[in-house]
Amino acid sequence: MKISFYVLSENKAQDFLGFICQLTQTALNKSNQSLLILIDDDELLATLDKALWVQEATSFIPHQRLLDADTDISYKALAPVLLSPYMPANFKGMVLNTTIHPVNTFISATINAQPTRVLELIKPDATSVQEGRHKYKSYQKLGYELTHFNV
């Protein structure tokens, strides 16, 4: 699995929602896979839900919120972008992780999810940097391909 860390500048961190929308649009433009945005913060989830509808004046990013982990869904039949606090069963696509946990902590043998790529966001504050280091080490131990971008 490929893991890409996006180390945000102070300006990008100040427009965190805008950067998530921009990265989401870029990911959709470059791939035909679904994108799951993992969010465990209810306020961020609600705000991002609204922001994706008005990403550009003439368009929006089609998406759907998944709220109940017990619901058996077929994510391919849904919007290309999913917002969720959990990993859906049998998910195979890209994951944009906004949580403090590595993506592998959301995957169990029972859900059989196999993300193809993970996008991790690191804000320029000490807490986010420390969480990013923890995630990096976790992914490194699993032998994943790691890259980082300063944006």
- pTM for this model (two decimals): 0.89
As a whole-number percent, the residues of the chain with pLDDT over 90 amount to 56
Q: Are 84 and 37 within 8 A, CB to CB? A: yes
Torsion-angle region of 115 (φ positive above 0: left; ψ -120 to 50: alpha; else: beta)? beta
pLDDT at 73 over 90: no
Q: At residue 22, what are phi and psi to the nearest 5 degrees?
A: -65, -45
pLDDT for residue 53: 79
pLDDT for residue 70: 43
Mean pLDDT within 131-136: 96
Residue type, 46: A
pLDDT digits (tens, 9 = 90+) for 3-48: 999 999 999 999 999 899 999 999 989 998 999 999 999 899 889 9
CA distances, 138 to each of 8, 128, 146 (Å): 20, 15, 11
pLDDT digits (tens, 9 = 90+) for 104-117: 998 876 677 889 99
The domain defined by 2-150 folds into Rossmann fold (3.40.50)
- Of 30, 34, 20, the residue nearest 88 (C-alpha): 34
